[in-house]
Amino acid sequence: MILFIIIIGVIGFSLIEGLSFLDSLYMTVITIFTVGFREVKEPLSQTGQIFTILIIISGVGTAVYSFSKVAEIVFEGGLRTSWRRRRMENRLKNLHDHYIICGHGRMGNIVREALEYENIPHVVIDKNEEKIRHLKSFGKEPAILGDATHEETLLKAGIKTAKGLAALLPTDADNLYLVLTVRLLHPSLFILSKALDEEGEMKILQIGANRIVSPYRLSGLRIAQGLIRPTLLDFMDIIIRRKELSLFMEEFVIKKDSKIVNRNLKECEIRKTANTIVVAVKKPGADIVFNPSPDLKLEIGDTLLVLGDKKAINTFESVFIGSAK
């Protein structure tokens, strides 16, 4: 706007007062910014005076507005907010093989902290502006303000390139609609959903969720185990609470080039080589086999649950599966 007024001023003073380009530019600039230096031509013609009045009215107003916007950007955080938003948008565009957390309530917050602890890429979606603002203030992970059941919000979160999604919205109806929307956008995506009652569990599974978690049932079973078998509960805490303790349980899918393909557990000597324990094996389309027999043959597509400390887990992956994390 300022540049446009300067151009008009230069043209106007040149035509009305017959000034050179430099003199016209000088007159325009001192008029717009009210510097008050000596005029190049005195006195101005009546037409020149009227034109100068118009330049002052339009130019001064534009200059004041422009400087106020610059001050707002610099001093009131607008520049920082704009930079954060642009960085967030770039991170969202570059996300792939990430997890989407839909709903940042108490459960969603725990899931986010667990993924963040393991440096696993993820994005949070929630329609509570205060929660999203709080997450963005840390600048650690992408967070989107919006309704997770809307297609445009999921597309913004990179649903097409995501690895998995956690449906943790407040009600079973919301999670049901979310799972349906996700299945339309990404039919093969792994979806884990929260369900508050048995009827909700059945419907969400039927609509396309891969796994269901019932927080009330899990909490009840956990309390029961704590009463009956407190040592077992301690062991479960060791597995789950990775921040406090060093024991890990990881799952690995046997690939075509894995060194343990078509070999049984005894031949692999996993405990001797990597100091880890194969707790369970799940073959495609079959139930999980706990404490598998040493004679169990491992094949492509089998999923192994492996127990050990972090170093041992990395050794197992490097030696038997492919590359360490």
CATH number for position 286: 3.30.70.1450
Q: Are residues 109 and 209 in the same domain?
A: yes
| 137 and 37 housed in the same domain | no
273 and 304 together in one domain: yes
**Contact of 259 with 248, CB cutoff 8 Å:** no
C-alpha–C-alpha distance, residues 194 and 166, integer Å: 8
- The structural domain count of the chain equals 3
Neighbour-count burial of 4, counting CB atoms closer than 10 A to its CB (0-12 exposed, 13-18 middle, 19+ buried): exposed
Distance CA 246, CA 75 (A): 46
Same domain, 64 and 107: no
The 8-class DSSP code of residue 320 comes to: I
Own/partner contacts of 57-60, CB < 8 Å, gap of 24 or more, are 58/5, 59/2, 59/5, 59/9, 59/28, 59/31, 59/32, 59/33, 60/32, 60/34
Evaluate the omega torsion of the peptide bond into residue 292 and state whether it is cis, within 30 degrees of 0.
Answer: no
Give the model's confidence band at 132: pLDDT under 50 very low, under 70 low, under 90 confident, else very high: confident
pTM over 0.75: no
Radius of gyration of the chain (CA): 33
- Looking at 41, 75, 109, the residue that finishes a domain is 75
User: Quick one: average pLDDT of 221-238?
Assistant: 75
Domain assignment of residue 226, yes or no: no
Give the pLDDT of residue 128.
92
Same domain, 198 and 290: no
Give the pLDDT of residue 242. Answer: 53
Residues 6+ apart with CB under 8 A from 311: none
Q: Domain for residue 258, yes or no?
A: yes
Asked whether the beta carbons of 142 and 120 are under 8 A apart, the reply is: no
Q: What is the mean pLDDT of residues 251-280?
A: 89
pLDDT digits (tens, 9 = 90+) for 12-29: 888 888 888 888 888 888
Q: Does 109 lie in the same domain as 158?
A: yes
**Per-residue pLDDT averaged across 191-197, rounded?**
93
Q: CATH number for the domain including 129?
A: 3.40.50.720
Q: Which of 203-212, 214-223, 256-265 has the lowest mean pLDDT?
A: 214-223
Q: Name the residue range of residue 126's domain.
A: 95-213
State the pLDDT confidence band at 325, using cuts at 50, 70 and 90.
very low
Q: Which residues contact 324 (CB under 8 A, 6 or more apart)?
A: 314, 315, 317, 318
Q: Are residues 207 and 110 in the same domain?
A: yes
- The whole-angstrom separation of Cα 288 and Cα 266 is 19
Does a structural domain hold residue 14?
yes
Average of per-residue pLDDT values in the chain: 84
- Tokens, residue 87: 């960085």
d(CA 121, CA 115): 7
Under 8 Å CB-to-CB from 247, ≥6 apart: which residues?
Answer: 238, 239, 307, 308, 309
* Residue 105 is assigned to a structural domain of this protein: yes
Could you read off the pLDDT of 268-286 as tens digits, one per residue? 889 888 889 898 999 988 8
Closest CA relative to residue 274, chosen from 311, 323, 324: 311
Regarding whether 112 and 55 lie in a shared domain, the answer is no
CA angle, residues 227, 229, 231, in degrees to nearest 5:
115
**Averaged over 189-194, what is the pLDDT?**
95
CA distance 203 to 101: 20
pLDDT tier at 324 (50, 70, 90 boundaries)? very low
Question: Domain check: are 64 and 132 in the same one?
Answer: no
- The answer to whether position 241 is within a domain reads no
What confidence tens digit (pLDDT) does each residue in 67-81 have? 787 777 666 555 566
Q: Mark whether 202 and 255 lie in a shared domain.
A: no
Per cent of the chain over pLDDT 70 is 87
CATH of the domain at 54: 1.10.287.70
Residues 252 and 189 in one domain: no
Residues 99 and 67 in one domain: no
Q: Considering the domain boundaries, does residue 142 fall inside one?
A: yes
